[in-house]
Amino acid sequence: MSDEHTASAPGDEFWSLRPRPRPTPFTEPFWQATSEGRLVVQRCGACRNWRWPPQLACPECLSEVGDWVDTAGTGTVYSYSVVHRGVDRTRFPRRYVLAIVELDEGIHLLTNLVGCDPSDISIGSRVRVAFRHLDEDHTVYPFTLIDA
């Protein structure tokens, strides 16, 4: 299948044009971990509830104590959409796949699916994180299908 139809296998142009994350002091531990090839999520230090997106206080017990904990980096496709024409074609020039992945830990992340044909994706497909280094300072966390 040609690149024109392989939405989820974007080439270097896609990644070079992609907007860069802007870490804050609050999210810096997450982005530092991605640069090290680890996918981390906040976990409440009091009740052990997972917190995503990152929050100052636990939505379950309101504790402000929390840690960044490594995840397995695997999960299932909860939902997805193939974007055929992005709003900003200068930054997202090709068709691509947006997905919500439910990590094995139960957290839902918004991400991209890469390295697969969109016709191979279905709700419930098993996926794993496939970190992509955008440049020296930025790493993102797309996911790819796990071969059955």
For tokens 């279905």, what's the residue? Answer: 122
> Exposed (0-12), middle (13-18) or buried (19+): which is 80, by Cβ within 10 Å?
buried
For tokens 């907007």, what's the residue? Answer: 19
* 118/122 Cα distance (integer angstroms): 9
| Overall number of domains in the chain | 1
pLDDT tens digit sequence for 38-82: 999 999 999 999 999 999 999 999 999 999 999 999 999 999 999
- Per the structure, the complete domain to which residue 66 belongs is given by 12-145
| Stronger pLDDT, 9 or 101, i.e. the higher one | 101
Report yes or no on 126 lying in a domain.
yes
Report yes or no on 4 lying in a domain.
no
* 107/35 Cα distance (integer angstroms): 20
CATH of the domain at 57: 2.40.50.840
Report yes or no on 2 lying in a domain.
no
Query: What's the whole-number average pLDDT of the chain?
Result: 87
